[in-house]
Amino acid sequence: DTGVSQDPRHKITKRGQNVTFRCDPISEHNRLYWYRQTLGQGPEFLTYFQNEAQLEKSRLLSDRFSAERPKGSFSTLEIQRTEQGDSAMYLCASSLGGPSFTEAFFGQGTRLTVV
Cα maximum dimension of the chain: 45
Of 104, 105, 110, 43, residue with least CA distance to 78: 110
Convert residues 20-59 into a mask of x (bound to another protein by CB under 8 A) and - (unbound). -----------x-x-x----xxxxxx--x-------x---
- 86-105 residues in contact with another protein (CB under 8 A) are 91, 93, 95, 97-98, 101, 103-105
DSSP code at position 16: T
Total of chain residues touching another protein, rule CB under 8 A: 25
Binding site for another protein (CB under 8 A): 4, 31, 33, 35, 40-45, 48, 56, 91, 93, 95, 97-98, 101, 103-109
